[in-house]
Each structure stands twice: as structure tokens, then as C-alpha cells.
Amino acid sequence: MYLGYFSLREAPFSITPDTDFFYPHAGAQASLNMLLVALRNGEGFLKVVGELGCGKTVLCRQLLKTLQGECVTAYIPNPDMGPDDLLLALADELGVALVHPVQRHAVMNGIGACLVQHARQGRRVVVCIDEAQAIPLRTVESLRLLSNLETEKRKLLQIVLLGQPELDAKLARPEIRQLLQRITFSEYLGPMALERVPVYIHHRLATASLDAAAPAAQLFSAPASMAIARASAGVPRLINVLAHKCLMLVYGEGGDCVDVAHVRLAVADTAGLRGSAFVGPRAWARGVARWVRSRHAKGDML
């Protein structure tokens, strides 16, 4: 919509988890460092708990990207499945050939043989389970059994759990305490510090800019960037949503810079923000109306 207008090659504030836009703020870098060090040290079970919208999925994908060529990796994005289905999903990720009709012990044997083969060839196997808070209790036992696959010297499978805070509550349940005891390292991923938000916005604009030597760094005034920081409380997903709406408004007005007034309109249109009472929805409607009239006047129908 506004890419050409702002000299951008792609949308800078998409909420799709794209590792090209990964920004290593303090919490994200600490989590990534912990995972890399622990995995390279041979630890079997690791955990990252993060708040909603704080970048767990892009962290997971950045981890997998970093491990390319170093490990065999598997990724399970939605573990809300039964015990047998989880094993089948892992077997599929690892390329384990199964003979139908498939039986549980055959799947476990196939996974075990695959892991042994990788170990003999000096390859470590890492499986990342995203949205791990959704794992049903009956499926947790399958994870524990997988963690039992080891030689006298090393784990055959390293498992990384990434989930929302509900994951900690689930792991604290008495019936699955055996799994909790196997988690050797864990990290918390929260919102970024508010003073890092302007740098984050600049980073995404520079990454998406057509001209890397002259990125569209001045699209957000300093007060606007800090207004986004305060309204979003440093949550990356909310920063992206607000910044995208601001660019839409500036584009519609034919302007060249986001100011605090644009942020106020964007906040008013975004449910769940503490600053959504900053201005009323009528103000947002007026802003959008100006935008539509401007595009019509220029003959640029959206």
C-alpha cells in the first residue's frame, strides 16, 4: 500500500515472525544466548517463557536459523495434540520412514534408531516446540519418554519448550513434576525496555528500506517513537501494529513523518491498550476519513 511512497521494499511492521527483522534487545539476546550455550553444552531440556506478543516465535526461528549446519533440527509449531500424534509429528520432521498401520512402539523405535544414527555421525538433534503451554497433560509423558533417549555420554535428543506463562503453571502440576525436574535452564522473555523502542523502529525501517545506505529513518519523530513505546509497553507485536497504522495515516495525508497525533489516532483504534482512551474512536474515524478523501483526491483508490 505505502511501500513505494516511503521507498520501502517490504512492509517494515508486519506481525509475521520474520528472522530478517529479528532485533536482539536485551531480553531476546539473553534468551538466544542461553539456548545456544546450553544446547552446545549438551543440555537435554530447556525452556523459554514469554509474554504474549513478545517474540517467542521469531526467537525460535532465529535459533533454528543459527543452528543450521550445526545440528539436525525439528520444529513443532502447534503441540496441541495427543501423545501418538506428537510422536508422529516428530518422526515426520526427522524424516523417519514408517510402515502403515503405524503403532506407537514402532514410532518410538524409528525415532530412536534415527537419533542413534545421527549421534554416530556426530550430529546433535534439537526439537523446538512452540506454544508449549498448549501441550495436553496426557502428551507430556511422551516428552518425558523422548528425553530418556540417551547414551552413557549424551542426550540423543535436546528439547526446547517455548510458551506463554501458562506453561510454568502447567509444569508445576504434581502429576508432571518429573518433566519439570529435567529442565536444566530456563529464561524469561518480556517486553523490551521503552528506551529501546525507537531503536527497534529504526532497525525495522532500515531492514525494509530500498536504500540501505539511506534508510527511511526519519519517518518517525522522536516524540512519536516514545509515544508508541509508552502505549505498547514495549511489546513488539503492539509496536508493529501501531507503527503500521501510523504509516497508513501519514501516507493518506501525503505527509512525510509520523508525529504524536498519528500515534494517538492509532492507539484509539487498537483494542486492549492502556492508552486507548487517549482519544476517542471518533477521532480515529475522522483521521481515516481524511486519509480516504486524500487518496480519492489524488486518484489513488485503495
Residue range 52-84, pLDDT digits in tens: 999 999 999 999 999 998 999 999 999 999 999
Q: Measure the CA–CA gap between 162 and 240, rounded to whole angstroms.
A: 21
Q: Cell match 514402532: residue?
A: 106
C-alpha cell at 70: 550445526
Residue 284 falls in which region: left (phi positive, over 0), alpha (psi -120 to 50) or beta: alpha
CA-wise closest residue to 187 among 7, 56, 20, 41: 56
Residue 278 predicted with pLDDT over 60: no
Write the DSSP assignment of 229-252 as a string of letters.
HHHHTT-HHHHHHHHHHHHHHHHH
Taking only the tens place, the pLDDT of each residue in 147-157 is: 888 776 788 99
On the question of a cis peptide bond just before residue 17, with omega within 30 degrees of 0, the verdict is no
Average pLDDT over residues 138-151: 82
List the strands of the sheet with 158-163, edge to edge. 71-76, 124-129, 158-163, 45-50, 183-189
Q: What is the CATH number of domain 24-189?
A: 3.40.50.300
Of 171-175, 206-210, 258-262, 284-288, the range with the lowest mean pLDDT is 284-288
Distances (CA, A) of 61 to 123, 161, 210: 20, 13, 25
94: number of Cβ within 10 Å? 18
One-letter amino acid at 110 equals G
Confidence grade of residue 285 (pLDDT, cut at 50, 70, 90) = low
CA-wise closest residue to 246 among 265, 227, 221: 265
Each domain of the chain, given as residue ranges in start order, spans: 24-189, 194-297
Q: Measure the CA–CA gap between 142 and 148, rounded to whole angstroms.
A: 10
Alpha helices, DSSP H, located in 41-82: 56-67
57 touches 130 (CB < 8 A): yes
Taking only the tens place, the pLDDT of each residue in 87-135 is: 999 999 999 988 888 888 899 999 999 999 999 999 999 999 999 999 9
Residue 300 predicted with pLDDT over 70: no
Q: Is residue 34 packed enough to be buried (19+ CB in 10 Å), middle (13-18) or exposed (0-12)?
A: middle
Whole-number average pLDDT of the chain: 87
pTM above 0.95, yes or no: no
3-state secondary structure of 12: coil
Of 1-15, 203-217, 268-282, the range with the lowest mean pLDDT is 268-282
CA-wise closest residue to 194 among 164, 163, 222: 222
CA-wise closest residue to 248 among 260, 225, 266, 224: 266
Residue 190 predicted with pLDDT over 90: yes
Average pLDDT over residues 255-261: 92
Alpha helices, DSSP H, located in 2-103: 26-40, 56-67, 83-93
pLDDT score for 292 = 53
Which residues have CB under 8 Å from 33's CB, separation 6+? Answer: none
